[in-house]
Amino acid sequence: MNPAMLYTVLVAAIVFEVLGTSAMQAAQHFTRLGPTVMMVVCYAIAFFFLSYTLRFIPVGIAYAVWSGLGIVLISLVGYFAFGQKLDLAAILGLGLIIAGVVVLNLFSKSTFH
């Protein structure tokens, strides 16, 4: 599989994970059926795509990218969609996560190039 397609699948896994986590917030402790169903479906799709990437990318690298970018994106969703504040320490920490993902992808020989 070519790297561009593989990373497209990984990005799809990340997007569905972020959608599922956003739906979890909207589900209000599973009291709202629509967001609860959306959460389950999005997580199932996210794990399907993530599991596919594990055929080609080592689990540690794939999970680091998936969880790291998921954390950053869900933090942005929380800020813009749910009005959750990010202080300077949170912003710096998110920047370090992004830097870690970049280092993994640019310099690690363990990842798929």
Q: Residue 40: inside a domain, yes or no?
A: yes
Instruction: Give yes or no for residue 112 having a pLDDT over 80.
Output: no
pLDDT value, residue 3: 84
Q: How far apart are CA 26 and CA 22, in angstroms?
A: 6
pLDDT per position as a tens digit, 18-62: 999 999 999 999 999 999 999 999 999 999 999 999 999 889 889
Cβ count within 10 A of residue 91: 12
Residue type at 59? V
Helix or strand run (H / E) with residue 77: helix 59-82
**Buried b / exposed e across 28-58, counting CB within 10 Å, b at 16+?**
eeeeeeebbebbeebbebbeebbebbeeebe
How many domains does the chain fold into? 1
The verdict on residue 112 lying in a domain is no
- The two structure tokens encoding residue 10: 């990984």
11, part of any domain = yes
Q: How many Cα atoms are found within 13 Å in the side-chain-facing hemisphere of 83?
A: 1
Q: What is the pLDDT of residue 90?
A: 96
Look at residue 26 and tell me if it is in a domain.
yes
Q: Are 14 and 70 in contact (CB under 8 A)?
A: yes
At residue 110, the pLDDT reads 79
pTM of the model as a whole: 0.89
Structural domain boundaries enclosing 13: 3-107
The predicted pLDDT at position 113 comes to 58
Q: Which two tokens stand for residue 42?
A: 């999005």
Residue 113 is assigned to a structural domain of this protein: no
- Is it the case that residue 100 has pLDDT exceeding 90? yes
Residue 35 lies in a domain: yes
Cβ–Cβ < 8 Å for 42, 17: yes
User: What digits encode the pLDDT tens for the residues 5-21?
Assistant: 998 999 999 999 999 99
